[in-house]
Amino acid sequence: MDPTSKTLRCVRLNPSDPDPALDPAAMALPAEGDTVSRAARYLITRDESLLVFREGVKPTWFHLRRLSAAWMVDVLDGLFSQPAQRLLAFRASCHAVESGDPISVAAPGSKGARFVAADAHHGVSLAPDEWVQEIVDRYGLETVQELGRVAIDLSRLPRSARGPFGFWGGSVASP
């Protein structure tokens, strides 16, 4: 990933539904010169170079946009609970999922698209609730919570920072 990019491409790595393309054995080992597992380091940095995939299995990439500072303060910080903040951040940040069956959210005012974003506020448009439910139905609520936390961290970090990203804490039971 280009650390100066306005978007971040990442895979899900949560206890309920990690990306099945990930090689669990390789992700449990540290990268060369590191002391923690690739999975643990990936959760902190979201650095794609740490990911090891199973041969012949394509990952599902979630594309997260940076959210404006004004939107973060005016809209997101006004929510009391962290799970609600993460869900709203996901709606605002994730508008594309690249997989075998890619889906995306169309720009506000688009016609004929399955998911159409609401008009922007402080430069941030919101995906509809149906979009979030589609993601939950495919990948689970914990994925929305995880990626919502990543979106919040991405938007609070300086543009050139590669982390640290925090642990989302979860609002759903993990096995």
The rounded Cα 100 to chain-centroid distance in angstroms is: 18
Provide the residue ranges of all domains of the chain, joining segments of one domain with +: 69-160
Contacts 24+ apart (CB under 8 A), 117-120: none
Q: Which amino acid is at 13?
A: L
Residues 6+ apart with CB under 8 A from 61: 9, 10, 11, 97, 98, 99
Classify 125 as helix, strand or coil.
strand
pLDDT tens across the length of the chain (175 residues) = 555 567 899 999 998 899 999 999 999 999 999 999 999 999 999 999 999 999 999 999 999 999 999 999 999 888 779 999 999 999 999 999 999 889 999 988 889 889 999 987 888 999 999 999 999 999 999 999 999 999 999 998 887 777 888 766 655 544 4
CB atoms within 10 A of CB 55: 6
Nearest to 56 by CA among 17, 21, 27: 21
pLDDT of residue 175: 41
Q: Give the global pTM.
A: 0.90
Closest CA to 44 of 138, 153, 131: 153
